[in-house]
Structure 1
Amino acid sequence: MIDQRKLFDNTALECSRIITQRYSTSFTLGIKTLHEKFHLPIYAIYGFVRYADEIVDTFHDKDKQGLLNAFTADTYKAIEDGISLNPVLHAFQLIVNQYHIERPLIAAFLKSMEMDLDFTTYNDSRYKEYIYGSAEVVGLMCLRVFCEGDEDEYEKLKPAACKLGSAFQKVNFLRDLKSDYEDRGRVYFPGVNFKKFDQDIKSEIEADIERDFDEALIGIRQLPKGAMFGVKIAYLYYRKLFQKIKGLSPEVITQKRIRIPNARKMMLLAGTYLGYKTGLG
C-alpha cells in the first residue's frame, strides 16, 4: 500500500529538483556529484532560494513587496506546521526541520531579498549584510545538511562555507554588472559608479574575490567525503568563470553577461572526477 504522506513529501522534493534543473545547469551538475543522500535536501534549499529571488528580480508588474511578505509568512508557517500545500515551501520545511537549520539563517536570507526591493547602491555595511544574507547563509544551510548533525564539524567549517558563498556572489555581481544596472538599477559593489568602472576598480574587486576563494578551498578539502566532490565542482566552475572575467576588459564586463558553455562545464566535471579518483583533486 502506498504511503500517501511519503508520496506527498517526495513529490514536493521532486518539484524542487525540477526547478533547479530548469534554472541552473551548473548547480544541477554539482548536486548530481554529491552523495545521493544529499541530492533532494540541496534541491529543496535551491528551490526555496530560487523562488524567493524570482519574486524580487522577475515580477516587475506585480506587487513585489506584497508577494515577498506572503512568501515570508508562508515560509515560517510551513516550518512551524510541518506542512505546506506550496511544494517549494513544503520541501524546504522538511529539510529545515530534519537538519535543524536555524531560523536566523532564513531570516537573514529573506532580509537580503527585501533589500533588493529598496536598495540600488550599497555602502560597505549594507554590502556585507547583503552578501551574508543572500549567499553565505545559503552555504551554511547546505553545510547543515552535509554535516548531518555533527555540531563540531559544522562550527569548524562555517567560516570557509561563508567565504565560498561570498566568492560565488561577488563573481555573480561581476558577471551580471550590466544587467543589474540596466535592468534593475543596482550596483552592489560599494562606492562603484557603473559609468566609471575601470581596471583599477575591477582589479581591487578581483583581489578580494581571490582571497575568498583561497580561504574557501581550505574548507572544501575538509568536507565530508560525500559532499566534497560536488562542492568542488561548483568551486571549479566559479573559478573558471572568474578567470574568464579577469581576462576581460572593464568595457566588456559592462557590455555583456559572461558565461561558461555547457561543454566546458562537462570538461570540468571530467577533470575533477579524474583528480578525485586519483587523489590529486
Structure 2
Amino acid sequence: MSQAAEITRKAQSNLAFALIDLPETERRHMAEFYAFCRTVDDIVDEPGMTPEERHAALDRWEQVVNGNASDLNELEGDVARLISELDLDITPMMKLIAGCRADINPVQPKTREELLEYTYCVASCVGLTSARILGATEAAFPYAIAMGHALQMVNIIRDISEDYNRHGRIYLPEEDLKRFQYTIQDIANGIHSPNLQALLQYEAELAGQFFQKAEDLYNHLSLQDRNALIPAQAMALIYGNILAKMQTDGFHIYAKRYRLNTFQKLWYLFRARLGISDRKNKPVA
C-alpha cells in the first residue's frame, strides 16, 4: 500500500469515506491529494515540533508544490507527479499551505470577512483542487468554493472546544462573540448557555447559506460536472446533517462530539449517487 493510501486509510475522515466508490485512478489521485492536505494540516496540529520546525516543514512543501524540491520522498514524489500529470493549478495548494501556516501562531479573526478569508484558504481551496482532480470543469469552481466555506463552518462550530483547549485557536470572529456577549473565558470554561446557543445558531445560519448556494450552483451544472462532484455532494449531506444534529440538540459542543456512524455515511453516499439531497431533513437515527 502506498504512503498516500495508508494516510487516507488511517485518517478515517468524512472526505476519505466519500471517495470509496470512485474509479481506481481517480481514487488514487484523490488519496494522494488528501494525503498532502492531511500532512500539511498535521504539521501545524501534531505535538512535538517547535514553530520554527513547523514553518520549515511547510517551506519544504511549498518547494515540492512549486517543483523546486529535490530528493523527494514517496509522498512528495506522488504529489509532484499528480501536479504534473493533471497540470494542476498550484495556486489553491499554495493558499492551503498559507492558511495552515497561519495556525502556527493563531490570531482570532476580528470580522466575518477575516474568517471567510481563512475558510477559503483551508477549505475552499481544497475543493477547487479536488474538483479538478475529479474531472469537473471550471464551471464547477464557484460550487467548490461555496461548499468549502460550508464544510469548514461546520468544523469550526463542532470543534470550538478542541481548537481552543488543544491549540489555543478561536475561529469565531471577535465581532460575533461581542454581538452575543459570549467571551473567550466562557469558551475556556466550557460554558453552555443561551448566549452560546444564539451565537452558534448565527454561525450555523452562515453555514446554511453556503450549503444552499452550493446546492443552487450544483443544480445548474452540466450532467458531467454533477457526476464528477458526487463525492462533494456526499460530503454536503454528511456535514449538513451533522449541522442539523447540533442545531436540534442545542449545540452541546462541550459535552459531546457530533458525528455520523458508518451506516449513516453509507446512506448519504448512496443518496448522493442517486442525486437526492435531503440535507435539511432530520438526520438518520
The normalised TM-score by structure 2 is 0.81
Assess if the C-alpha contact under 8 Å between 2:62 and 2:97 holds in 1: no
**CA deviations over 1:123-167 (Å, ceiling 9, x no partner):** 22432221111111110111222336xxxx31x221110010111
Q: How many residues align?
A: 258
- Partner residue, 1:207: 205
More RCO (CA 8 Å, sep 6+): 1
Deviation of 1:78 after TM superposition, in Å, equals 5.9
- Partner residue, 1:39: 27
From the superposition, tell whether residues 265 and 204 of structure 1 become closer, same or farther in structure 2 (CA, over 3 Å): same
Alignment partner of 2:56 out of 57, 69, 75: 69
Alignment partner of 2:121 out of 119, 133, 153: 133
Identity rate, percent: 20
Assess if the C-alpha contact under 8 Å between 1:17 and 1:40 holds in 2: yes
The normalised TM-score by structure 1 is 0.82
1:108 paired with 2:95, answer yes
Q: Distance in 1 between matches of 2:69 and 2:200?
A: 46
State which drifts further: 158-167 or 88-97. Answer: 88-97
State which drifts further: 124-133 or 215-224. Answer: 215-224
Deviation of 1:266 after TM superposition, in Å, equals 2.2
- Partner residue, 2:258: 258
* Larger proportion of helix: 1
Cα RMSD over matched residues? Answer: 2.4
Alignment partner of 2:148 out of 153, 160, 165: 165
Q: Distance in 1 between matches of 2:154 and 2:211?
A: 10
Gaps of 5+ in 2: 178-182, 278-285
- Partner residue, 2:180: none
From the superposition, tell whether residues 271 and 129 of structure 1 become closer, same or farther in structure 2 (CA, over 3 Å): closer
1:100-249 matches, within 5 Å, as 100-124=87-111, 125-147=113-135, 153-154=137-138, 156-191=139-174, 192=177, 193-194=183-184, 195=186, 198-221=196-219, 222=221, 224=225, 226-249=227-250
Deviation of 1:94 after TM superposition, in Å, equals 1.5
Assess if the C-alpha contact under 8 Å between 1:241 and 1:259 holds in 2: yes
